Amino acid sequence: MSAGIEQKKKEIVGFLVGRGVLVNTEFLEKLKDPGTVEEIHSKLGQNPEPHQILDFKKAEPQEIKTTESKVKVLWEYETEYNKRKIQDFVNYFNARYKLLEKMLVQRPEMQNITSIARLVNKQDKETASVIGMVTEKRITRNDNLIVTVEDNTGQINVVFSKNKQDLFTLAKDLVLDEVIGIVCSTGENILFANNMLFPDIPLQTELKKAPDEAYALILSDLHVGSIWFERERFERFLKWIKGEAGNEEQKEVARKVKYIFIPGDIVDGIGIYQGMEEHLNIPDINEQYQEATRLIKQIPEHIWLIISPGNHDVGRMAEPQPALSQIYAKELWEMPNVIMTCNPALINIHRSTEFPGFTFLIYHGYSYDHYAEAVESIKTSGRHLSERVDLVMKFMLQRRHLAPSHSTTLYIPDPKTDPLVIETVPDFFISGHVHKAAVSNYRGVSIICGSCWQGQTAFQDKVGHIADPGKVPVINLKTRQIKIMRF
């Protein structure tokens, strides 16, 4: 068992002992399973009650296709279809607030936390901490920033002084509807910010690595059916993955590929934008999926294919998006090595008795365009829109949400939870959508965006994407090194 698992076991036991709880033999038996250790440890950041840890029962993840599968769906969204009411939106945002509040209250900086309603009783210049959802932000005539935050007791204005330059700059990146923690000084019905915290992910000091050499690939945005589909590039990829092309080192990598993720836009779709029919060489959606299946079937069957939908795929646009329709993608569903997931989804791969496997957060990335422009530090980064995706994905991890602001993506207002909150910290966060590959790292989480298999289109010009097709991020699961192969 790795030193990382042993350290996490010590932290779990230390958490309980620190709260005066005696750990029994039955609980220690639970900690013999690496997967259980990982799941319990991930909950410590939410500052749970001791009984929630002691009574933890491991939920059996969905095991796909065969009992020998090394791919497990840890989370995907399931709900009954029904009519949504206005109150569902209210409950949805309340549920989001509560989820993110749990992440913030355990931060050591957040002392003396109080509700907004109680701040009216505070004396001037007292120190307090508050957690709130951003409802408004504006620049004053004196060039200070005022942010209005709200909890379930009320709302209040918070002043971010331009004289506190680092804090002021950080606050300028705030977006509406995100949940933040503020350490402040009180005034008369107003707060003066001294510090600000995001839900954020914890720093992972030890990078999880597989005990054996195996590879995972990120394909994205095939857009089969488009007149700009890069068929020759994709056929070169297929020859390589089948071991028919490349030098000996590249062929050796191909032989050790165990997993391929395809996070959305398998086909170009129908009616995505006005005049699209002129840009299709396969105008029938059924035939698009048939051709996509014909190509994907050429990938060797020993490789697991994890496929999720994107905004060009047929079906519901609102997120979470269900898995691809069995009506249109029937042949893909029937392939023994294909696992269909919703968007977003949480997947575990490469698990064994001695290794807990890697957790992959998969999200197509439809919301990214908004934040590349709305977040000032990202917009002014000096990089083109299609080159900012790693900054946007880092922003999502800091906010622990895939689309914090209302209207930046279509969504289902679930009255019980917000499924776009990033509750579990993944090992890998992968996306597509912007048609340009990117690789980065944030606090130990590997950030990867796939490129595309479609040339530059007029529609991509319009939305500010510059296509860079045929680039495949290749992950060495043993070393965590990521290289980009060019086809």
User: pLDDT digits over 134-143, tens only?
Assistant: 999 999 999 9
User: Which residue segment(s) compose the domain that 327 sits in?
Assistant: 215-486
Residue 86 placed within a domain: no
Task: Give yes or no for residue 460 having a pLDDT over 80.
Answer: no
Same domain, 193 and 226: no
Same domain, 120 and 260: no
Chosen domain end from 197, 224, 249: 197
pLDDT in tens, 70-119: 899 998 887 666 778 889 889 999 999 999 999 999 888 888 899 999 88
* Residue 430 vs residues 110, 161, 392, 475: alpha-carbon distances, Å: 31, 37, 12, 12
Same domain, 411 and 481: yes
Q: Which amino acid belongs to residue 194?
A: N
Q: Which amino acid belongs to residue 93?
A: F
Report d(CA 215, CA 228) in Å as an integer. Answer: 29
Residue 71 placed within a domain: no
pLDDT in tens, 215-252: 999 999 999 999 999 999 999 999 999 999 989 999 99
Same domain, 168 and 313: no
Residue 459 placed within a domain: yes
Point out the least confidently predicted range of 27-41, 98-112, 383-397, 456-470: 27-41
Q: Indicate which CATH number applies to the domain containing 280.
A: 3.60.21.50
Residue 100 placed within a domain: no
Task: Give yes or no for residue 449 having a pLDDT over 90.
Answer: yes
Count of CB atoms within 10 A of residue 80's CB?
4
Same domain, 193 and 220: no
Q: Where are the alpha helices (DSSP H) in 18-68?
A: 25-30, 34-44, 50-54
Residue 466 placed within a domain: yes
Same domain, 468 and 373: yes
Burial bucket for residue 86 (CB in 10 Å: 0-12, 13-18, 19+) = exposed
Same domain, 189 and 220: no
Same domain, 409 and 467: yes
Contacts of 29 (CB under 8 A, 6+ apart): none
Residue 205 placed within a domain: no
pLDDT in tens, 248-302: 999 999 999 999 999 999 998 888 878 888 889 999 999 999 999 999 999 999 9
Task: Give yes or no for residue 62 having a pLDDT over 50.
Answer: no
Task: Give yes or no for residue 366 having a pLDDT over 80.
Answer: yes
Residue 240 placed within a domain: yes
Q: Residue 396: helix, strand or coil by DSSP?
A: helix
Across 340-352, average pLDDT: 95
Looking at residue 4, what is its pLDDT? 66
Mean per-residue pLDDT of the chain: 88
Same domain, 182 and 254: no
Q: Indicate which CATH number applies to the domain containing 163.
A: 2.40.50.140
Same domain, 267 and 297: yes
Same domain, 172 and 234: no
* Residue 481 vs residues 260, 351, 370, 431, 472: alpha-carbon distances, Å: 16, 19, 30, 18, 14
Chosen domain end from 197, 232, 265: 197
Same domain, 273 and 396: yes
Angle at 213 between CA 207 and CA 215, to 5 degrees: 85
Q: Where are the alpha helices (DSSP H) in 111-230?
A: 165-171
Chosen domain end from 171, 197, 223: 197
> What total of structural domains would you count in the chain?
3
Residue 97 placed within a domain: no
Q: What are phi and psi of 136, to 5 degrees?
A: -165, 150
